[in-house]
Structure 1
Amino acid sequence: MLDSSAVDPRRFSLRGKKWKYRGEGNANLVLALPQERKIVRLRKCDGIGSNESEDVLAEREREHVWREAVFCRGIMVPLLGDSYIQPPTAARMDRAEVRRLDQTVRTQRPIHRHHKSLQFGYVTVYPDYALLPLQLSLSGMELRPTFCVEVKPKQGWVPMADRRMSKCTYCLNQYLKLKNGSIRHQSGYCPLDLFSGNRIRMMKALRALVSAPQNNLKIFQDGVLVYGEEVGSDLGTVLRCWFGESLDISSLIDRMCSLVLEALTRDLTGRDKLSDSETDESDSDIAVWERGCQGLLRPTSLPNGYDTSGHRAVGTSLTERIPSALVTAVTPLLPEPPCDWTVETLSTDCILGRILRMQKLDRTGADRVYDAFRSRTRRGGNDYGYVAGMLSAGTGAGPGLSPLHRYLLATTAKDCSIMMAFQRLLEHDWGRIPDKHVVRDLDGQPYVMNVGVTDLDPKPLSCIEKHRKRDCEVLAACLELLRPKTESDSNATCLTS
């Protein structure tokens, strides 16, 4: 499945198509095709390197889009379910067309993104989850606006071995963002609340996201971004257009959050359900991918010698991934209240439940994973060679998933985005939409709803070292911002060196 040289991605062109600039991140630029209800993701680059030809770099991009499509189809779809993911198609565009597109779209891009450009013709084509799929769109509904809420839930599970402090990973990272100036105020959002299964805490988390969206919440109207960190639209105006009510802003936010919570906790799966009784201690070292990767969603058994209660394996010693002196210095400085680690029952087959199960694949903790990473890098290999190993494990041809495999899959689940599209239903629409796709707001108004998951790319092995450096930087930022100012600033530098 990973032999990209055996298959040439199909040709694709934007000629004659209406498209819109949707947005971009550090690595990709996204265009929307409203009439086709598709999005096109194009890789960005810094330019042609002096030591490699354009053909070599283009071939690397071809391998990248092919791997992305195979990873999603062969691993993510079975893990999360085809009710929540439609796999992308790898395609290629004419290079000359891509260069013209680069010039055309440049005026719509943020200036701080202009240092990267589009140069190669390999793309991935996805469904546009900001819009409803055709099978949920009834005649006449196209005249009503479709609103979509995108949520990046982040890390709702922290392995026991990594719970050294009173704050979770996301909340600690707020201090690094403050230090770097990327935010002015800390968010009140905590992923542990959203994944808790407690409705009160989950609503609290969603309200906090609306209040301080950062990069974790966006609202689209008919595929156009209307609210988020980089958009200055008035939230009250957006929500009144959505709900058509002259309510106060607090009531409108509650109405939206209740709808989003219904979508996040609604079971949209059909076949291949996970029963709650099958998700305890019954992992048999990864069953079979064709059975929906259900074994992976029961991540409780570990290779011999591993201990989930601490961060050491039996009979081995670990590299000090993060200086213990830094942990000791920061721990008493963290303010109250601590993050709430308690959990209640969360439906196994709702999208939050599926993502949480995937995050729980990582049970060994970051220290053990880092040791395995160091051992592997000494043997050589590339950043994505492990993907073939995952596919082999799924078909029964390989030895099963290692702690590295599990960590990288869990990391993908920590960085994914959930997109929930809503459109108001009228009385004559009732009964024409499957019940599982109908949700109601606080006043009982029904909406047709769909859920899609994006940003499910395989993570490079090198991200493990990147995470170690980031975690050290996070604790150094905590120390700098929380330590009394009378103490020497040089102490933080000494502890992290």
Structure 2
Amino acid sequence: MHSTPGSDLVERFTCLLVQALTMQVGHECEGSTNSSWLYNGAPLFDTRKSVHHDNLKEEFPRTNQKPCNFEKQNLPEGCILHRLAQAQALDQYGVNLVFNMLMSDEDLVRATENASATYDTQYVHSIIKRGCSYELNPIESYLISATVRDCSVLICLQELKENSFEAQILPAVEDVPSKTKYILKITAVDLDPKPLSCIKTHMQRNELVQDACRGT
């Protein structure tokens, strides 16, 4: 994309990003064994599977706000945006109900009050041990969804020489006008698990936003 007018350059670079974000990704696109568990060890979250209801009590208040509709997305299955949207869609109840569930469990309340408590993120090990195809309870679903909502997507592109061997075998995107290909590496970062204590923080933040909207 050398010697390209500014407006055209932005449009062509945007096309490369769209290709990267909608490309089906797999083990070969990661280029790292550190994240291979995502594809080999843990199946994708199935948002059609009902979450666990054992601790879901009728007296927990619900809001009238409609949840996000994740059924209307036209993302290619297996692309990184599709995978992230699947995880974001796990929260089906919202912070109000999840907060009341959390406060009804004395062990969880103690964990959130102790900043050094290992149980604050111990749920992650429990999920991995069970396997992601198993049902999640609403608290686990909310924490995973909140984690993914805060993540970033890192895209690295490296230009390939025309007709190079690497361009034929490595995952790549192409700038069509110049027929230039770029090796692609794409990954989600900033995926540190949200602690249980974040639920209370989110609840307080929502209350502040609502108060501000009411002008109080």
The interval holding the TM-score normalised by the smaller chain is 0.7 to 0.9
**Aligned AA for 1:318?**
F
5+ residue gaps, structure 2, are 29-37, 112-116
Secondary structure at the aligned position of 1:427 is classed as: coil
Report 1 or 2 for greater relative contact order, CA contacts < 8 Å, sequence distance ≥ 6: 2
Secondary structure at the aligned position of 2:83 is classed as: helix
The structure with the largest helix share of the pair is 2
8 Å CA contact 1:393–1:401 kept in 2: the answer is no
Residues 1:389 and 1:437: Cα distance change in structure 2 (over 3 Å): same
Residue equivalent to 1:300: 49
User: TM-score normalised to the size of structure 1?
Assistant: 0.35
**Aligned AA for 1:354?**
R
8 Å CA contact 2:51–2:136 kept in 1: the answer is no
5+ residue gaps, structure 1, are 1-242, 272-288, 307-312, 328-338, 480-491
Residues 1:341 and 1:297: Cα distance change in structure 2 (over 3 Å): closer
Residues 1:301 and 1:340: Cα distance change in structure 2 (over 3 Å): closer
Residues 1:361 and 1:436: Cα distance change in structure 2 (over 3 Å): farther
**Aligned AA for 1:317?**
E
8 Å CA contact 1:438–1:449 kept in 2: the answer is yes
Counterparts of 2:204 and 2:176, CA distance in 1: 45
Q: 1:449 Cα deviation (Å)?
A: 1.5
8 Å CA contact 1:359–1:413 kept in 2: the answer is yes
Pair 1:390-2:127 in alignment: yes
Paired residues, number: 196
Q: 1:445 Cα deviation (Å)?
A: 2.5
User: TM-score normalised to the size of structure 2?
Assistant: 0.74
- String of CA shifts for 1:462-492, please: whole Å, max 9, x gaps: 101111122222333444xxxxxxxxxxxx3
Residues 1:291 and 1:401: Cα distance change in structure 2 (over 3 Å): farther
Residue equivalent to 2:2: 244
- String of CA shifts for 1:100-151, please: whole Å, max 9, x gaps: xxxxxxxxxxxxxxxxxxxxxxxxxxxxxxxxxxxxxxxxxxxxxxxxxxxx
Q: Which structure: larger Rg? A: 1
- String of CA shifts for 1:195-217, please: whole Å, max 9, x gaps: xxxxxxxxxxxxxxxxxxxxxxx
Residues 1:377 and 1:456: Cα distance change in structure 2 (over 3 Å): farther
Pair 1:433-2:182 in alignment: no
Residues 1:245 and 1:340: Cα distance change in structure 2 (over 3 Å): farther
CA RMSD for the aligned pairs?
Answer: 3.4
- String of CA shifts for 1:56-113, please: whole Å, max 9, x gaps: xxxxxxxxxxxxxxxxxxxxxxxxxxxxxxxxxxxxxxxxxxxxxxxxxxxxxxxxxx
Secondary structure at the aligned position of 1:297 is classed as: coil
The one of 322, 340, 353 equivalent to 2:82 is 353
Residue equivalent to 1:330: none
**Aligned AA for 2:201?**
K
Residues 1:415 and 1:377: Cα distance change in structure 2 (over 3 Å): farther
Pair 1:461-2:190 in alignment: no
Counterparts of 2:121 and 2:196, CA distance in 1: 7
Secondary structure at the aligned position of 2:93 is classed as: coil
Pair 1:420-2:162 in alignment: no
Counterparts of 2:184 and 2:105, CA distance in 1: 44
8 Å CA contact 1:268–1:436 kept in 2: the answer is no
